[in-house]
Amino acid sequence: MPEKVNYYVGEQSLRFPREVYITASASVVGKKEGEGPLGKCFDMVCGDDKFGEDNWEQAESTLQKEALALAMGKGKLKPEDIRYLFAGDLLGQNIATSFGLMDYEIPLFGLYGACSTAGESLSLAAMCVGAGYAKTVAALTSSHFASAEKQFRFPLEYANQRPISATWTVTGSGAFILSGKRSRIRITGITTGKIVDMGVKDSMNMGAAMAPAAANLIAQNLEDFKRKPEDYDKIITGDLGYVGQEILIDLLKKKKIDISSVHEDCGILIYDKEKQGTGSGGSGCGCSAVTLSAHYLPMLERGAIKRILFVPTGALLSTVSFNEGQSVPGIAHGVVIEQEGERES
């Protein structure tokens, strides 16, 4: 049983009374992601971006459904073994999540943190297991290029030209099973981000809008846990892209923190910029989730890396706020994930 100690760490971070493990995860992506540098790592690459459905929104729902099914299969779990779902997507009123996960009949917390939802859902799921409210929960997020274009930019039927600097929304869904049951990968802490608004008004340049939030979060995490950047093998942001990465590293250098040797960005990793014509890189709450599941978790499991800070970043805009001339505030959520060494239990 947890003893009476304080689990707050610094101003914005937590560790948990009970150990929290990621016991299984799964990633499902579309065709373009399958052709990218990480293509071979994903559990499932679907050649049909509609996933056999009638429209893009249903396709995204199917993405989530499949990702959760695969993750449950890997963890040898049935829906009734999962106490809570923490899930979200980018569409209005979270419809991809609602319609995709409805049939599982698992109690659901629907979340919205824009592209940071992968971190938000993992944080809350870890808190839930860490506090002992559940033995096993699942966290998942999705995004789909075509439904996101319709939601935030222009529907594909309109055949709008995309500026080269625009990010490319990842078609994909990542699902994670969190449990108190021991595995090789453990979540040891979280840092929850604040909304940071630097007044960026360009909706095509999300990296610049989110980088200050990521910088704040990373600095806070290092301060709270009294760590240096080198204490992490990697500090991984969600979808800052090339422009955002530069801004992030510069912002932290001003605070005398140099993360340039350990920083990686899922949006940069997931596509081949030259061959795939993806401009600033990938984005969307599927981007960081599938990259974590397919790329980083296996590295942790192998022991190639020991400790990472996973920082999905989100741009909190809607088409309404944007059209009303509001700026694009950013948010970021940090999750510390470590390899659990061999140990007698």
Partner 1 sequence: MMDYINAFWVGGLICALTQILMDKTKMLPGRIMVLLVCSGAVLGAVGVYEPLMEYAGAGASVPLLGFGNTLWKGVKEAVEQEGFLGIFMGGFKASAVGISAALVFGYLASLVFEPKMKS
Positions in the binding site for partner 1 (CB under 8 A): 30-32, 49, 145-146, 154-157, 160-163, 171, 202, 204
* Nearest distance, CB of residue 146 and partner 1, angstroms: 6
Nearer to partner 1, 271 or 310 (CB): 271
CA pair distance 298, 174, nearest whole angstrom? 14
φ/ψ of residue 7, rounded to 5: -100, 0
φ/ψ of residue 126, rounded to 5: -65, -40
CA 219 to chain centre: 19
Evaluate the CA torsion angle 19, 24, 28, 33 in order and state its sign. positive
Nearer to partner 1, 241 or 312 (CB): 241
Q: What per-residue string of b and e applies to 82-110 under the rule 16 or more CB within 10 Å gives b?
A: bbbbbbbbbbeebbbbbbbbeebebebbb
* Nearest distance, CB of residue 45 and partner 1, angstroms: 14
- Write the single-letter amino acid at 84: Y
* Nearest distance, CB of residue 324 and partner 1, angstroms: 15
φ/ψ of residue 167, rounded to 5: -80, 160
On whether the CB atoms of residues 131 and 140 are closer than 8 A, the answer is no
Q: Tell which residue, 241, 218, 247, 215, has the closest CA to residue 231.
A: 218
Nearer to partner 1, 141 or 205 (CB): 205
* Nearest distance, CB of residue 186 and partner 1, angstroms: 38
The DSSP code for 104 is G
* Nearest distance, CB of residue 276 and partner 1, angstroms: 9
* Nearest distance, CB of residue 273 and partner 1, angstroms: 15
Nearer to partner 1, 93 or 160 (CB): 160
